[in-house]
Amino acid sequence: MNLEELKKRREENFLAHKKKKKAYYQKSKIKKQVFDYEAELNSDNFLNKIKEIAHKQKNYIDKRKDAIIKKIAKYKESKKEYYEQNKEKRLQYDKEYRERKREELKLYRQEYYRKMKENKQTSE
């Protein structure tokens, strides 16, 4: 095979792929349903549709309930492990932060308690 023949074959394959892709997307467009909002969500059907949607969601959650509970438990466990591993670092950082920001924190607390005292007096 020479270079020209390879280029020609590559171009043909590319065009065939493009044609196939276009056909796929046109086919998927045809499959899409036209949703008639007026008929589906009128006052007669609206409550039934909402109940149907809620029922489908509940069924979906019920099917996945065990997996969801396992994921939540795994997340809590990993969070607890992370907390335990980094407890010393966090405490050290908090201590350094408080030392650095001592005056700012002191002023902030004074202002906070003053406002709380005023709010308490005005509400009484």
Any domain includes 11 = no
Any domain includes 25 = no
Any domain includes 48 = yes
The structure's pTM equals 0.36
- Residue whose entry in the numeric block shows the structure tokens 């009484």: 124
45-102 pLDDT, tens digit per residue, is 788 888 999 999 999 989 999 998 999 999 999 999 999 999 999 999 999 988 888 8
Domain that holds residue 106: 88-124
pLDDT bin (cut points 50, 70, 90) of residue 33 is low
In order of 30, 36, 107, the CA distances from 95 in angstroms are: 65, 63, 18
The CA-based angle 72-78-81, given to 5 degrees, is: 140
| pLDDT, position 77 | 96
